[in-house]
A and B are shown apart, each in its own frame.
Chain A
């Protein structure tokens, strides 16, 4: 039992060391990302589908945000 606790502690320490070096990632937001990942098609995929449907119906053209657009 002690071995598995130590193993688990070691694992989370290793994870903390590498990924969370300078910040507190906030457990809540990570769990939320887990939910996002779990959603089959993803809420975001659904939303973009609905959006493009809406645009199609209203005949509006909406350009995707260009990666090289310097609009700053």
Chain B
């Protein structure tokens, strides 16, 4: 597998070529391409490339996804969209005599907030009576995390990142309140699978033997997919309490004029630099990513920890058709390299080169709330991209005052002068503007 001219090329083994041809010729694939729900895929004329491709392999070309993200980073709404896409693809493929060999959530990527299926090689000819071999994987990687957040109110991201393979049905069954277990869907898709798995483990040889004999008629297969889809489509995250930051853009320490000034500052930066790929650190509801994208940024990846805010960011991106992908990230503990040899899933900072960084109203969260030394926090922010905007929030600001309300103020060096000195070590300031009556100051920098 290699990369060239913005696309991905891979060799496909002979036995998989027929299945791939079947897919590319199908109506399902054409419909998915029309909706941009699957990556562009073509066979390539071998002679055009001087490769050392073994004789029994054919060359295939894929469109490339601009920024890779993983299921344990997707906010609820995005995981839900991915799940629905997967089920719809399975249903359409089944109707046309194809099935998917697995149900991995890692087969889906996002462009903006739209899910895209990337594993075209997992399609194969449907064999009459075949079982849905991917059901357990679908449950662990798509269904259970969504159900957990919807019925139990627990966010799944920490567990999902920890286990990579998703949430086990047995674990989920244990935490669902018994009253919610009385639903047909929960019983059928969570409790029953967990029970059957336990029973099967009790007598493995016999279970394996029975399982290998199971035939699932196509109609029941389709019915199963339909019912799952119905249920999933209606799942919403359980609103426990109002999350701290979700309504930030409606009720914060800024007046309207101040917000407009901040907005204009962001637009000026983007109009000047036109960053192709922007990272919005502490993106909240995506208000400033929107400003950035409308003013010349190509694409924005938003990072935040507040689930309510991220839900609003997804909504904003959908309604305004923004090239914004909001992701769940704890800046103090960002996604590391994971999986086999710690390299299967890349660390978030290693996946792409960002052209610009927005660090608005976030520095005080690192330097005060989480005790990161100011110099180190500034260094980290500047490392993300060759240019960007950092907002300095002074101690006198109400938000910082709240942070310090119940704590000793040990932050002797947290002031504007020291901040400017830290920034000057690594970058030059292109533009500077105080944007609020509480003396918050925006700095547009260029790394030196």
A positions within 8 Å CB-CB of B: 8, 11-12, 15, 19-34, 36-37, 42-45, 47-48, 65, 67-68, 70-72
Contacts and interface: CB of A to CB of B under 8 A. Distances in A.
Contacts of A45: 223
B115 interface: yes
B158 interface: no
B197 interface: yes
A31 B214 contact: yes
Contacts of B200: 27-28, 31
A47 B184 contact: yes
B137 interface: yes
B223 A23 contact: no
Contacts of B139: 29
Given A26-B135, A65-B229, A67-B91, A32 B220 contact: no
Q: How large is the interface on B (under 10, 10 to 19, 20 to 34, 35 or more residues)?
A: 35 or more
A60 B366 CA distance: 52
SS of B interface (majority):
helix
A29 B197 contact: yes
A52 B196 CA distance: 30
A12 B212 contact: yes
Contacts of B198: 28
A30 B188 CA distance: 13
B137 A28 contact: no
B227 A44 contact: yes
B220 A30 contact: no
Contacts of A72: 37, 81, 84-85, 113-115
The 8 A-B pairs with the shortest beta carbon distances in the complex, nearest first, are A26-B136, A28-B197, A28-B196, A34-B214, A44-B223, A27-B200, A25-B133, A30-B211
A28 to B, nearest CB: 3
A27 B184 CA distance: 22
Interface stretch (B65-73, B202-210, B269-277, B338-346): B202-210
A27 B224 contact: no
B216 A29 contact: no
SS of A interface (majority):
helix
Contacts of B109: none
Interface string B227-258: 10110010000000000000000000000000
A25 B101 CA distance: 10
A38 to B, nearest CB: 9
Given A30-B214, A45-B223, A67-B92, A25 B184 contact: no
B75 to A, nearest CB: 14
Contacts of B220: 33, 36-37, 42, 44
A22 B217 CA distance: 23
Contact of B214 (A33, A44, A47): A33
Nearest to A26: B136
B33 to A, nearest CB: 12
Contacts of A23: 101-104, 133-134, 136-137
A48 B115 CA distance: 29
Nearest to A64: B226
Residue among A11, A26, A67, A70 with max Cβ neighbours from chain B (10 Å): A26
Nearest to B185: A47
A29 B224 contact: no
Contacts of B31: 67-68
